[in-house]
Structure 1
Amino acid sequence: MELHDVWFVLIAVLWIGYFFLEGFDFGVGVLTRLLARNRPERRVLINTIGPVWDGNEVWLLSAGGATFAAFPEWYATLFSGFYLPLLLILVCLIVRGVAFEYRAKRPEEKWQRNWEQAIFWCSLLPAFLWGVAFANIVRGVKIDRSHEYVGTALDLLNPYALLGGLVTLSLFTFHGAVFTALKTVGEIRERARKLALWLGLATAVMAAVFLLWTQVDNGDGQSLAALIVAVVALVAAVAANQAGREGWAFAFSGVTIVAAVAMLFLTLFPNVMPSSLNEDWSLTVTNASSSPYTLKIMTWCAVIATPIVMLYQGWTYWVFRKRIGTQHIAETVH
């Protein structure tokens, strides 16, 4: 296996890690309006992800940085062609982070309500837009012989991509509901489990259609295996949730995300950005990669830094592992 193949796999792993972690993060943000009934309950939801949301975004920074260094042609074409949706995602992530920090800085109800709305919308939009972006990458976009995107923003809003956006939004919200049931106590925990059932069923229908569509268009035996794992894991997550086994439900919903994203990358390889105009104009792991020397240096950096980051993030989750409820929320910080 060549180094550019290795880095394609590593970038896939970074995106898988990002969607696994930020997935429930986005889902909880959406649930602040769908599940919580009052300000203390919204505070409980925010507190479940408060210690970890910024660490989860490290995976996005790593994935973007690795793409820039390992596949500069891919990075350039992607960010020029998908400029508007990626800019909107970036703005949402900035506003969302500010909202987490500023919501409780003042006691006025209007102040807190506005920041809560920001958390909701800036969680919902990226959860949807990431699905749109990755669906377009897999499907192929208008890239010319110079490896430049020649389409428009409206070209990205095709039926396949919009379905992909709905799948990621529903899947992340389901993942967030299962995480909420795992991290809370009392009435909000029970409501999270009930909502997770309906979210899981809706997600199963949309995900099955989207993944089968992907398999028919671009799949092979490996992607089919990943599809089967994703579907089985999603069914198992819904069943475990109904049985009150929140830990297993969260693990299986995570496996669903891992398998689904892995399937997308399996159908993509050896391309990194297919051209819908001419297959010969597609960006591949070969023609989009950096020099072997650059990839070698990057590999040594990854070998040293990755275990440290993962150990630190794992320790963070361990420290903040306990369940919380409205009884843990002081009235002054509602």
Structure 2
Amino acid sequence: MELTTVWFILIGVLWIGYFVLEGFDFGVGVLLPILGKDNTDRRIMINAIGPVWDGNEVWLLVAGGATFAAFPEWYATLFSGFYLPLLLILLALIVRGVAFEFRAKHDSDRWRRGWDQAIFWGSLLPAVLWGVAFGNIVAGVPIDAQHEYTGNLLTLLNPYALLGGLVTLGLFLLHGAVFLSLKTDGDVRTRARALALRISPVVVAVAAVFLVITQLTHGKPITWVTTALAAVALVAGVGAAFRGREGWAFAGTAVTIVLATATLFLDLWPNVMPSSTSALYSLTVTNAASSPYTLTVMTWVAAIFTPVVLAYQGWTYWVFRKRLTRTPIAQ
């Protein structure tokens, strides 16, 4: 297998890891004012993701760095063409991170409400905009012969991409609600489980429509398999939630995100950024890649350090695996 294909797969894996792990973070952040009826409830929800949210964002940093190093043409076209949406995502993530750190610095309800709003919007915007961005990447955007984006902001706000934004928002909300029902106890757990059951029919319907449209317009034979498996995983996860099997429900939503993201990357390959102007102008794993020497060095670095990072993050989740309750916080 050529190194360009290897690194395309690795970047896909990094995005899968980011969406699975940061996905429930975003879901919890958006649900903060909905499920958190008082400050204690909201502290429980924040503490549920507190030890892991910043580690989850490492997947995004590594995905961006790997794209820059392995496919510099892709990185340049993507960040120049999607400048405003990606800037909004970056600002939202910064504000969200600051909110987690500063919320408890001052004992004031008004102070906490302000930072809670920052967490909400800092989670909502990326949850929607990542779906919009990937919808555009898969569908293709206007790129000229110099591999420069020739559209504008309105070009990115097309119906298919906006539907993709609704799908990521819905999946992350469901993923976050299931995570809270798995990670907490008491009223927060009860409300999270009830919300997951209420929104699941809508999430299933919207995700099904998006994946079917994707397959009919950009699909390949192999991705019909991943699409079907994603649908089965989502339905199975929802079914587990109805039966109160929270661990299996979380596994179901996680596998759904894995397979849905894999479907998008498989539909994209061998392109990394298709051109809607002309297929001849599309960026591919070949014409957007770095030199073989660069890819070889990156492969050795990834082989050495990736297991260390995975082991550390796995250890973090294991240490903070217990359910959270009101008792220690309310005292």
Q: Give the TM-score taking structure 1 as reference length.
A: 0.98
What is the letter of the counterpart of residue 303 of structure 1? Answer: A
1:48 paired residue number: 48
Do the aligned partners of 1:20 and 1:258 also contact (CA within 8 Å) in 2?
yes
Distance between the aligned counterparts of 1:204 and 1:317, measured in 2? 28
Distance between the aligned counterparts of 1:330 and 1:244, measured in 2? 26
2:154 paired residue number: 154
Residue 319 of structure 1 and its aligned partner are, at CA, apart by: 0.4
2:177 paired residue number: 177
1:191 paired residue number: 191
Distance between the aligned counterparts of 1:235 and 1:264, measured in 2? 20
1:300 counterpart SS class: helix
Query: Once the two structures are superposed, what CA deviation does each residue of 1:106-159 show, in whole Å capped at 9, x if it has no partner?
Result: 001111100000000110110000000000000000100000001001100000
Query: Once the two structures are superposed, what CA deviation does each residue of 1:292-326 show, in whole Å capped at 9, x if it has no partner?
Result: 00000000000000000000000000000000122
1:263 paired residue number: 263
What is the letter of the counterpart of residue 23 of structure 1? Answer: G
Residue 330 of structure 1 and its aligned partner are, at CA, apart by: 3.9
What is the letter of the counterpart of residue 137 of structure 1? Answer: I
Which structure 2 residues correspond to residues 63-74 of structure 1 after superposition, within 5 A? 63-74=63-74
Distance between the aligned counterparts of 1:170 and 1:327, measured in 2? 31
Query: Once the two structures are superposed, what CA deviation does each residue of 1:77-129 show, in whole Å capped at 9, x if it has no partner?
Result: 00000000000000000000000000000001111100000000110110000
Q: Please state if 1:232 is matched with 2:232.
A: yes
2:272 counterpart SS class: strand
2:166 paired residue number: 166
Distance between the aligned counterparts of 1:6 and 1:61, measured in 2? 19
What is the letter of the counterpart of residue 78 of structure 1? Answer: L
2:109 paired residue number: 109
1:324 paired residue number: 324
1:329 counterpart SS class: helix
Distance between the aligned counterparts of 2:199 and 2:173, measured in 1? 7
Distance between the aligned counterparts of 1:247 and 1:103, measured in 2? 30
2:91 paired residue number: 91
Number of aligned positions between the proteins: 331
Distance between the aligned counterparts of 1:185 and 1:321, measured in 2? 13
Distance between the aligned counterparts of 2:25 and 2:188, measured in 1? 17
Do the aligned partners of 1:200 and 1:234 also contact (CA within 8 Å) in 2?
no
Distance between the aligned counterparts of 1:153 and 1:236, measured in 2? 38
Residue 240 of structure 1 and its aligned partner are, at CA, apart by: 0.4
Q: Please state if 1:127 is matched with 2:127.
A: yes
Distance between the aligned counterparts of 2:194 and 2:52, measured in 1? 25
1:258 counterpart SS class: helix
Q: Give the TM-score taking structure 2 as reference length.
A: 0.99
Q: Please state if 1:6 is matched with 2:37.
A: no
Do the aligned partners of 1:178 and 1:192 also contact (CA within 8 Å) in 2?
yes
Identity %: 67
1:272 counterpart SS class: strand
Which structure 2 residues correspond to residues 163-312 of structure 1 after superposition, within 5 A? 163-312=163-312
Distance between the aligned counterparts of 2:68 and 2:176, measured in 1? 30
1:39 paired residue number: 39
Distance between the aligned counterparts of 1:191 and 1:242, measured in 2? 13
Gaps spanning 5+ residues in structure 1: where?
none
Query: Once the two structures are superposed, what CA deviation does each residue of 1:193-240 show, in whole Å capped at 9, x if it has no partner?
Result: 110012221110000000000000111111111101111000001000
Gaps spanning 5+ residues in structure 2: where?
none
1:20 paired residue number: 20
What is the letter of the counterpart of residue 307 of structure 1? Answer: P
Do the aligned partners of 1:178 and 1:249 also contact (CA within 8 Å) in 2?
yes
2:290 counterpart SS class: coil
Residue 328 of structure 1 and its aligned partner are, at CA, apart by: 2.3
Distance between the aligned counterparts of 1:222 and 1:41, measured in 2? 44
Q: Please state if 1:145 is matched with 2:168.
A: no
Root mean square deviation, CA, Å: 0.7
